[in-house]
Structure 1
Amino acid sequence: MTKRRKKGSGNTPKAEDRHWYGKRQSARNAKSASRTGNPTTGRGGKRPAESRASGEGGASAARPGGRAPVPASRRSPDAPELVTGRNAVVEALRAAVPGTALYVMSDTDERVRESIQLASDRRIPLLEVGKPELDRLTDGGVHQGIALQVRPYRYAHPDDLLRGTSTPLIVAVDGITDPRNLGAIIRSAAAFGANGVVVPERRAAGVTAGAWKASAGTLASVPVARATNLARTLKSYRQAGCFVAGLDAGGGAAVGDLEVAVDPFVLVVGSEGKGLGRLVADTCDMLVTIPMSGRAESLNAGVAAGIALYEVARRRAVK
């Protein structure tokens, strides 16, 4: 891979040139010895599946009740997304989800009128359509007479997140399938100064209307990169001089005790149900954990990411 020169900060030193490089092998040995259970963001025992919170009021590309207007197998991942339903559309517009067109049958409902006003304020084109056309656009979904078209998200390249700083902080996610969990992680990344978030291209949540809403608008300022192979991307980050730590129930150290967090650092977060994939976990320099003394067996991925990023930001602030 051709290394790119960062603007204004010089090249990130190679991993072997950093003071913590000698600790890498012992850390990986400790990690291997500690992996006796299912990797998760919580503690041992059986884990509940990742949250699938739903509701009519949420911003979603699905019709009310959770059925998608277009089957995923027939929908391109880069195609415009349609948010349907009166509650879902108005909440998406309130959350500043980047719409490109608002399709409306009539303005007899208060929520529809608010949606029209919000779209007008943000200069989103308003298109009056009949029921047959809206049925066709939503593939026969229950649209309640309104639909918001959301532009496809433009993903960054993983290498772009290394630019502009000599001590990048990057968050990588593995196995996160709920867009709202992804949005929450992006919101924490923005709050604690991360340079960006990396998501896998396949079998993972991408930047959808649900992610936009959960991020509370921070997606506008935090770049999200898409990796065709997450393990390979993490290896390239290591080669660029980053220390890669994965959140895991059996981690050998507490995330708040990592002195290397003040250096170029990548935090990898897995799903609550399955944790980190084997290849991704094996790529990490160290597995770290969030100590818990309460009764909860595990933490939601978004919550775990927020706690870990706070600890990293706290240590960086002290430096």
Structure 2
Amino acid sequence: MPTGLDIIFVVLSIAEFTIGILGNVFIGLVNCSEWVKNQKISLANFILTCLAIFRISQLLVLLFKSLILGLSLHLHLTYTIAKLMSLLWRITDHLTTWLATCLSIFYLLKIAYFSHPLFLWLKLRLNRVIPVTFLFSLFFLIVDFLLLEIFNDFFLNVYILDKSNLTLFIDESKTHYVETLILLSLTCFFPIVLSLTSLLLLFLSLVRHIRNLQLNSMSSRDSSTEAHKKAIRMVMSFFFLFIVHFFSIQVTNWLFLMTWINKFAKFAMLAVYIFPSGHPFILIVGNSQLRQTILKVLWHLKSFSKRENLLQIYR
């Protein structure tokens, strides 16, 4: 039977899931409607649309896993379901992470300016660099699949096949489990480095741009400066949320390693929702088209609410 803490965990998971779904569905609907209306879509909006779609899938996987852990832990201990959850989670997490990283690279190449030949070469080929970067990330997804097989074999041997001699066997298998966790963590190293590099180069480009404006006795509040600041805020927000997301996953895994039925690990999972649920709203605020659309939606909802209140008064 689920305890009170299990119920609280499930309720909080559903709340975070709902918030994330609303943000991602909104981004997907707005961009898809514009795509159909104009018969074309910009690279940035295409990345945002794909990101929203995969994040919806990621949130569904995360919610299903939360419901299993919160309401029926024994179901999670079946090998087939555990393997399927690990596979689906790794795919969706990988795709959303790299799409957000590609968005950071897009902001860098679109807004920053450096005279270095390599940077100029990449800038001129922006529409090719982003797809190639994403395709390159699929190599790490293959590596993840191979590592997940090791992880799932550990799960099968320890929690399914060797329950009768669990204490003796787990000491030998924990080493392989730890090594797998470390290797899986290393696959996130590249998007972290790329995002941090994009952030630092954007900041450096902004500093150089402001310095040039000051040397020419011009105002530092021009359109390029504002675009730099906006891009820096977007990349910084992604980088911060991704770091929180990354460490919350690691904490959850290590807590489950120490004690499989660990209620602290369940609540550590709540922090995993922050990235797929919170980042869409930062993207909405930072995108003028999405921001204007959501303001219109809120205005219509407010007007509808006022009309309903007036009708109730006159009745």
Q: Larger % of strand: which? A: 1
Q: Larger % of helix: which? A: 2
TM-score tier after normalising by the smaller chain length: under 0.3
Answer with 1 or 2: which has the greater Rg.
2
